[in-house]
Structure 1
Amino acid sequence: MAIREILEVPDPRLKTVSEPVTEFDDELKTLVEDMFETMYAAPGIGLAAIQVGVPKRLLVIDLQPEDTDAEPEECDHGGHHHHHYPTKKEPRVFVNPEILDPADELASYQEGCLSVPDIFADVDRPATCRVRYQDLDGNVHEEEMEGLMATCIQHEMDHLEGILFIDHLSRLKRNMALKKLKKLREAA
């Protein structure tokens, strides 16, 4: 297991169109393990292989939902005392994913991306979609996605086409986001 370097804009490799995965071997499993480790360390909820420099059609996602069956953890924020549930891991792997029938209805979520650090913007995407994908053994699955999962998988699948979430913004908003990122980097 290893944490890999996450490519950040304006790295030209992020514009690569990724190639289908054809070998379901140990190398693929190692890549997936590394991707999860990298994503959790970042921390993030989704990562495409190209974000660690590997142009393969492969995504890992873990929305890390709150575990409402677990005991809530207490935490103190400057005198404010409250409980929150720990998150649970629900790692998902999608190899060669395809969207079959995106909904006409759109949903807007504030998105961020590990390759565009500290920048968040609202993006409209189909609210639901059916996804066909393979698992690590090459078996084909189909699943109906909704809510945050639908948004997240579409965001990650964009990476496979060399598209970043800021590419969905108007030119003005995209330029503002990139300027902000430049300022944040200069300040760091």
Structure 2
Amino acid sequence: MIEILVLYYSRHGSTRNVARLIARGIESTGAVARLRTVPELSIAGETKPAVTADDPFVTLEDLKACQGLALGSPVRFGNMAAPLKHFIDSTSKEWLAGTLIGKPAMVFNSGSMLHGGQETTLQSMMLPLLHHGMVIVGLPHSEAALHTTTGGGSPYGPSHLTSEARRHPDTDEKALAIAGGKRLADIASKLHP
């Protein structure tokens, strides 16, 4: 059975919403989506809590058990959020052991500002995955929603442009997230039959 780890951090729920859509795409292929998140970090001067975690916290064992990875974060100054980066920084032993070599991976995010760093965040999230030897999976231009989206989504991965008026992904963002999950699971099944 192909099992894909959908690992995300979500401060206000938007990235979690994209993660759920990607999981739907994964499961539409018959694969299993293992949704996991990371714990909040203490940030000086902040008192607003993160969204209550609906999914369990990730373990290093989750990385070993999966045949693919979808990694998601809110946009933070063109990079992934600190709690997710903190977890990635803890994977040195898995890097040395080659745990993720040859497994496919995709990245996704959410952000509240058009041109606010969604694509650079997606690209920067790919860097540690490349160091782990993972095979990066993007969204091809054959996905019709890439040509019509006025919110999130790019060849680098699914995303959601969020605001008070747009709390949930729109039709194109949903289509791209589901298509990304399907593509990731399909490639995982070819690489790890």
Q: TM-score, normalised by structure 2?
A: 0.25
Structure having the larger proportion of residues in strand? 1
Structure having the larger proportion of residues in helix? 2
Q: TM-score, normalised by structure 1?
A: 0.26
Q: Which structure exhibits the higher relative contact order, with contacts defined as CA atoms closer than 8 Å and separated by 6 or more residues?
A: 2
